[in-house]
Amino acid sequence: MMSADSVLPVKLPDEVIEATRQLLHEGEGYQWRVGDHLAAVVDEFGHAIKRAEIIRQLANGVGADASTLRDRECMARFYPPSLRREYDSLTYHQLRACKSAGERWREYADWALDNLPAPVSLIRASIKHNGDLPPAWVGRWERMLVMADLLVVDEQTPPVVRLAAVALIETAKIIGPVGHGEGSSLR
């Protein structure tokens, strides 16, 4: 019996690749069907082919990105059908965002259910800020500082713009963290 660590290349059957292709092109809910299919394929062929190789062959065979297929399989394993039914009001993408909270995923999934339509961006912001939703200006401020950092290191940035970006970064250091509890305003 061949192990998943063997070096001999084993090709997945064409019908497995074709079934994956068809699932990828179906309508709403296809992410779960694709994930379940991929989990079954990995379980079936995992004794002879490493998981990464299975995903690579499928991705190449259907013209998909391997990371997308890995994501679908991981999501299907993380959220078995019973959990999908429990959270059936949430989309695949909302549950994917909740999964990023690790052990606290259920807390964020319950929050999303209570706050439908619960945009994915709000779920991610809540996770990023440990359950709190900061005011919108905090995210804008953080993005502005990221942009200032990029301007400072960009060789094509005009000197006057670079100076303004440096001044903004230095001002942010003086102000310190904003939007989180004590000192959450710039007043």
Please, what is the Cα angle at 126 between 125 and 128, to 5 degrees? 60
Determine how many CB atoms are found less than 10 A away from the CB of residue 97: 25
Kindly tell me if the per-residue pLDDT of 21 is higher than 90.
no
Q: Is the pTM of this model over 0.75?
A: no
Q: Give percent of the chain above pLDDT 90.
A: 60
Average pLDDT, the chain: 87
**pLDDT computed for residue 25 by the predictor:** 52
> Hey, what are 73's tokens?
């399989």
pLDDT at residue 187, rounded to an integer: 35
Query: Do the Cβ atoms of 51 and 42 come closer than 8 Å?
Result: yes
Contact 136, 125 (CB under 8 A): no
User: Does residue 107 contact residue 127 with C-beta atoms inside 8 Å?
Assistant: no
Angle between helices 120-128 and 92-99 (to 10 degrees): 10
pLDDT tens, position by position, 37-69: 999 999 999 999 999 999 999 999 999 999 999
Residues for the chain: how many in total?
A: 187
Between CA 175 and CA 101 the distance in angstroms is 29
On whether the CB atoms of residues 11 and 55 are closer than 8 A, the answer is: no
Residue whose structure tokens are 């394993």: 77
56, burial (CB in 10 Å: exposed 0-12, middle 13-18, buried 19+): middle
**What are the pLDDT digits (tens) for 161-184?**
999 999 999 999 998 877 554 434
CA distances from 180 to 29, 91, 108, 137, 145 (A): 37, 29, 19, 12, 16
pLDDT digits (tens, 9 = 90+) for 104-126: 999 999 999 999 888 898 999 89
Does 186 have pLDDT greater than 50? no
Q: pLDDT band at 10, cuts 50/70/90?
A: confident
